[in-house]
Chain A
Amino acid sequence: MRVEFRGKAFEFDQRMRVKDLLEKLNLSPESTIVVRGEEVLTEDDWLEEDDEVKVISAISGGALLVQFRQRFLPKRSTDKL
């Protein structure tokens, strides 16, 4: 699938849920919205191999946060409290 995020394109060759995609991109579901065309997707929606989706950062400065996270913060954990 083709994923657009802040003007950059990412390719993934397997179907996955939205929350898995965000995990791979090291993005928080609390601060991102994933859309397929005009359809807003939920974290549990499935993305197919031939989908084209766009990830929208809801946080001002989101692109900077990604750089910051990749550089300084450990990868997000899915462990629950």
Chain B
Amino acid sequence: MREHRLALCKDCYPKWFLRMTERTIKEWRMIMPDDRVLVAVSGGKDSLGLWFALSQLGYEADGLYLDLGISAGEYSLRSKQFAQQLADRIRRTLHVVSVSEEMGKPVPDLAFASNREPCSACGAVKRYLFNKFALEHGYTVIATGHNLDDEAATLMGNVMRWQVGYLARQSPVLPSRDGLLKRIKPFVRFTEKQVALFTILNRIPYIEQECPYSVGASSLFYKDLLNRIEERSPGTKWAFYSQFVEQIQPLLEEKFPEPGLRPCARCGMPTTAEICSVCRMKERANKPVLQLSDKSDSQGLTKT
């Protein structure tokens, strides 16, 4: 690990990784003694690694897997199996929520119907359902497996377009407010490679298959650019991100305070608008559509 000027054997690496995770949790006051933690589990290396690490550190965290209904390559089915395998190993509860049952349609259909990019629709639905489920089941903290590559790529994307509103809210910890639960990212110190290594060395099987809808995601491009910089100048990724969250983000947060939240008129979940974006997406996806039919009117259209 050139950025840490450190070389560890396979026995010492997992111990170092756990120490660093614990240090991040303490430094950012991510988990308090009375907290109930819910890990957002996707079946990938980051979320499974995080759930395992929290378990090893003694945190009694449960998992929530969202079945997105992605049938291509049996993506959702296989990723759920990996999540369940780890739940059995660490003897913690894995909750499973089906997006189709909650929203009436799987994620790909929701994205199509609402004319959104799949990753954008998926992200909105995930944030919504994780928060809703956690609130309804008494959890106080939602933990996600976002790593340094994720955060640095997001930062780069937001800087390139000076999305100051998003920049003001990019932090390893987002405190709870107005119906939004506290969100934590205990893996922000680690690169994706470091997380993958931890997961592999602990023999945790995870889904290596790509989400079939991630084609063209701009975050992948930024990750690649950042890795090229990192190859030439080790430590740059961490410096870029850590200096931002320590020095710049607090200033932006003060200058650009978050807009007030109010309950959604449909579902009661917090939103800045009268109706939240997920309810709007759900309505568009489930509303009756005009289709060509033999029994159509003179314009060839009928309501089904």
Contacts and interface: CB of A to CB of B under 8 A. Distances in A.
Interface of A: 6, 28-33, 35, 40, 42, 56-65, 68-69, 73, 76, 80-81
A64 B215 contact: yes
A60 B214 contact: yes
Interface residues of B, number: 30
B195 A28 contact: no
Contacts of A40: 10, 197, 200-201
B217 interface: yes
B220 interface: yes
Nearest to A62: B210
Given A68-B221, A81-B233, A61 B228 contact: no
Contact of A64 (B7, B44, B200, B210): B210
Nearest to B216: A64
Nearest to B214: A61
A61 B231 contact: no
Given A40-B10, A68-B221, A68-B224, A60 B197 contact: no
Given A31-B193, A56-B208, A59-B149, A64 B227 contact: no
A40 to B, nearest CB: 6
Contacts of A62: 210
Contacts of A29: 231
B282 interface: no
Nearest to B223: A59
Contacts of B230: 30
A76 B214 contact: no
Contacts of B197: 33, 40, 58
Contact of A35 (B193, B200, B220, B233): B200
9 contacts: A28-B224, A28-B227, A33-B200, A40-B201, A58-B193, A59-B223, A60-B210, A73-B224, A76-B231
B70 to A, nearest CB: 14
Interface in B206-263: 208, 210-211, 214-217, 220-221, 223-224, 227-228, 230-233
Nearest to A72: B221
Nearest to B149: A59
Given A35-B200, A62-B210, A65-B220, 18 more contacts: A6-B208, A28-B231, A30-B227, A40-B200, A56-B196, A58-B195, A58-B197, A59-B149, A59-B192, A59-B224, A60-B44, A61-B223, A64-B210, A64-B215, A65-B223, A73-B224, A76-B228, A81-B233
